[in-house]
Amino acid sequence: MLIQSFENMHSKRQKKIALPEATEVRYVSIDDIIFCRSSNSYTTFSIKGVGPITVSKPIGEYEFLLEPYGFIRTHQSFLVNKNRILSYKKEDGGYLLMEGGEQVLLSRQRKHLLRELFI
């Protein structure tokens, strides 16, 4: 019983990630990350209620950190929080509509992830 209570308490604790910007390090809740977009060696995080935060690290460095929290790579340039997906749009080759209204690319090779994710 004590172990179960501890596990419940531990699971309710918000997990945070440190995002080093040029002048400060921002600590954000992983649950609040909507998606990440890569541009060369920079990654921009779209954060619920905060807006974009850009860091000078490639998206690949964050992929393995965020996968255990429900993030999936939908495209070479995008990593999304599956809990923040609103819908899949079939037009224009297919894309995901995310919370906040942003459109995220979905590569042909990764469309099978959607089926696996929502089945």
Domain spans in the chain, listed from the N-terminal domain onward: 2-118
Low-confidence spans in the chain with pLDDT less than 70: 1-14, 115, 117-119
- C-alpha 95/C-alpha 107 separation (Å) is 8
pTM beyond 0.95: the answer is no
pLDDT of residue 113: 72
Please give the single-letter amino acid code of residue 61. Answer: E
Question: What CATH number should be reported for the domain whose range is 2-118?
Answer: 2.40.50.1020
> Strand pairing partners for 71?
81
